[in-house]
Amino acid sequence: MTAALKITHSFDGLIDQLPSDASKRAYRADWVRYCAWCKKHKLDVRRAKPRDVMAHLSALQKDGKAKSTIGRALSVIREVYAGFVRDELMATNPAREVKPPRMSGVPKTPWLDESAMTKILNLPAKTWEERRDRVAAFLLFGLGWRRSEVARMRLEERPDGEYPFTMLHLCNGTCHAILKGRKEHTVGVPEWVLKAAAEWRDFASITNGLAMLPRWDNDPEPISGGMLYKIVKKLARRAGLDKTKVTPHGFRRSFITLGGEKGVDLKKRQLAAGHSSSATTERYDRAREAAASAPGEVFAGMIKKARKR
């Protein structure tokens, strides 16, 4: 097998392990773009140096790519090279020590305050579609996971075996998933989410191994991330909210931010969201931007009230 075929085989093996078609397309697109850049500059991807990877990222930045896009590109390049090292096609990973671009402090995804989130969670649900959408909102906010992870969720009465997708276990109150970056993750599910999931299962006749959120009635196939995005927009409209400011990722930010306001410590929120670093979770926490957030207010009780004269 030639070197080029070995690299192709290694890359295809990595792609096959990804949990969703969307992830596969994104990885392939980022890697193809990097390879095209290397070819343009007469570089062999197997002989790339850290400075070459940094030059590619700089080129993306000059092209006006968003910082999140550049960060994702670096993540893909780093992971592909790590696969080449594991397969003994390269001795070192040239992207391992390359730092991602500094993320902007301005959030691109708005978060929902407690009032807005309460409106969505308490919308009436009478029809089959409204009931499904309600459970979708509960899962997105109650778990704090990404829409792709919630969309492919399956239902299981008890944990049994390994699954390449999200599996909700009703009996022991946990949810197991392969999250972004192929990280295996198990987290406890709030009682109010479990109750809603059980009620939905009985209503929609969801049995073991079938989609928790089917596309339509009598259709066992799961909804896509794109459909879940549209569901959230519909929920926003029904709740009388500005739908341009309500997104599935906004639910994730709200889970992290409101959890902090309710006293859940940073480490627990990090583990629940599936972040590798607490620094990432801190970037998601938008409480510091709220005008009403005045940490010094906790010292109010130390001030003696002035006596009336």
Number of C-alpha atoms within 13 angstroms, CB side, residue 144?
Answer: 26
Lowest mean pLDDT across 1-10, 109-118, 226-235: 1-10
Q: How far is it, in rounded angstroms, from Cα 278 to Cα 270?
A: 6
Does the pLDDT at position 22 exceed 90?
Answer: no
Q: How confident is the model at residue 159 (pLDDT cuts 50, 70, 90)?
A: low
- Identify the CATH class of 114-288: mainly alpha
Residue 287's pLDDT is: 61
Winning range, highest mean pLDDT, from 153-157, 240-244, 286-290 = 240-244
DSSP-assigned states of every residue in the chain: --HHHHHHHHHHHHHHTSSSHHHHHHHHHHHHHHHHHHHHTT--GGG--HHHHHHHHHHHHHTT--HHHHHHHHHHHHHHHHHHHHTTS-SS-TTTTPPPPPPPSS-SS----HHHHHHHHT----SHHHHHHHHHHHHHHHH---HHHHHT-EEESS--S--SS-EEETTTTEEEEEETTTEEEEEE--HHHHHHHHHHHHHHT--TTSBSSBSSTT--SBPPHHHHHHHHHHHHHHTT--GGG--HHHHHHHHHHHHHHTT--HHHHHHHHT-S-HHHHHHH--GGG-TT--GGGGGGGGSPPPPP-
pLDDT surpassing 70 at residue 306: no
Highest averaged pLDDT of the listed ranges 124-128, 160-164, 179-183 = 124-128
Name beta bridge partners: 169.
Answer: 156, 174
pLDDT tens for each residue of 184-236: 788 888 999 999 999 999 999 988 888 899 999 988 888 999 999 999 999 99
What percentage of residues in the chain have a pLDDT greater than 70? 84
Cα–Cα distance for residue pair 285/255, rounded to 1 Å: 9
Give pLDDT, residue 101.
66
Q: Give residue 301's pLDDT.
A: 66
Res 154: pLDDT: 87
- Report the pLDDT value the prediction gives residue 292, as an integer from 0 to 100: 46
Average pLDDT of every residue of the chain: 84
Return the percentage of the chain with pLDDT > 90, whole number.
40
Mean pLDDT computed over 153-166 = 65
Mean pLDDT of 257-281: 85
pTM value? 0.65
